[in-house]
């Protein structure tokens, strides 16, 4: 059964038919400001823009929850703000959809094109949509060095050992725990002196802001992993970690990270 014109399912693929998603993403990458959208340490990626692919999918999820999709005056088109700027004019870029005429597809919408705020397409819309917004309390974006940071190293090893680079992924658990303990201690000291080391990320499943903190295992100035830190009011807790590619993927949803350690 075809969806209603105003339905906003959580999945972009349920919202609209996109015949060549990877081609669409490549077109978008060529429109927006220059940025490295590729993984650097993950093998087997099939495209050059996996970070941008996830960015668009997750941006849509947030916009659907916030109901920030705009409709044309005749309801024949809709669009949302990608949160990205064009390469030359630095104008907001919108993703536009038209009515899907394929009776065998449930999606009401079909991808039409990307357009800039200065394009003629804007005339279709009584009002352009707003960007996605991810937080109510801006203090959640910043690490508070006065709070205690508790890291469950045992849980990190048990659940995430496969994410560790060699040779750490094949080390005995006890030996790896000692190395992580030292890395966490060093990270705490760095955070006390520079709270900006912590990079915010938006966890799409729970809709919460978390912080990413570097784990430097092999060398003191080179991050090998990122631990995810959650704010529990009077303290921070961490019980999982991400590869640097995963961390970049998650952090990019909020903003382009300008931290030197998150440069996989």
Digit-coded pLDDT (tens) for 131-158: 999 999 999 999 999 999 999 999 999 9
pLDDT given at position 42? 76
pLDDT given at position 86? 98
The b/e string for 186-223 (b: 16+ C-beta within 10 A; e otherwise) is ebeebbeeeeebbbbbbebeeeebbbbbbbbbeeeeeb
Taking alpha carbons only, the member of 255, 159, 144 closest to residue 196 is: 144
pLDDT given at position 264? 57
The pTM (predicted TM-score) of the whole model is 0.93
CB 251 within 8 A of CB 199: yes
pLDDT given at position 224? 95
Q: What does pLDDT average to in each consecutive run of 10 residues of the chain (264 residues)?
A: 91 97 97 94 80 98 98 98 96 98 94 97 97 95 95 95 95 97 94 92 94 95 95 95 94 84 72
Strand intervals (E) in 11-102: 16-17, 70-71, 77-85, 92-99
pLDDT given at position 250? 93
37-62 residue pLDDT tens = 999 877 667 789 999 999 999 999 99
């Amino acid at each position: 059964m075809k969806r209603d014109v105003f339905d906003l399912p959580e999945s972009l693929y349920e919202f609209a038919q996109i015949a060549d998603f990877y081609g669409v993403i490549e077109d978008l990458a060529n429109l927006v400001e220059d940025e490295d959208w590729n993984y650097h340490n993950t093998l087997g990626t099939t495209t050059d823009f996996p970070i941008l692919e996830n960015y668009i999918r997750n941006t849509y999820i947030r916009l659907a929850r916030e109901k920030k999709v705009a409709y044309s005056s005749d309801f024949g088109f809709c669009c949302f703000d990608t949160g990205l700027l064009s390469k030359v004019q630095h104008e907001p870029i919108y993703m536009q959809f038209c009515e899907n005429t394929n009776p065998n597809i449930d999606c009401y919408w079909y991808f039409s094109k990307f357009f800039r705020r200065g394009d003629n397409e804007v005339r279709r819309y009584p009002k352009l949509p707003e960007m996605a917004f991810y937080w109510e309390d801006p203090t959640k974006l910043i690490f508070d060095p006065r709070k205690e940071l508790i890291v469950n190293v045992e849980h990190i090893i048990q659940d995430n050992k496969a994410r560790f680079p060699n040779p750490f992924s094949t080390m005995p658990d006890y030996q790896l725990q000692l190395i992580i303990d030292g890395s966490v201690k060093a990270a705490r000291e760095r955070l006390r002196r520079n709270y900006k080391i912590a990079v915010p990320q938006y966890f799409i499943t729970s809709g919460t802001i978390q912080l990413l903190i570097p784990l430097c295992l092999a060398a003191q100035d080179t991050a090998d992993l990122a631990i995810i830190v959650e704010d529990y009011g009077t303290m921070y807790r961490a019980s999982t970690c991400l590869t640097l590619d995963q961390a970049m993927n998650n952090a990019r949803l909020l903003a382009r990270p300008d931290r030197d350690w998150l440069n996989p």
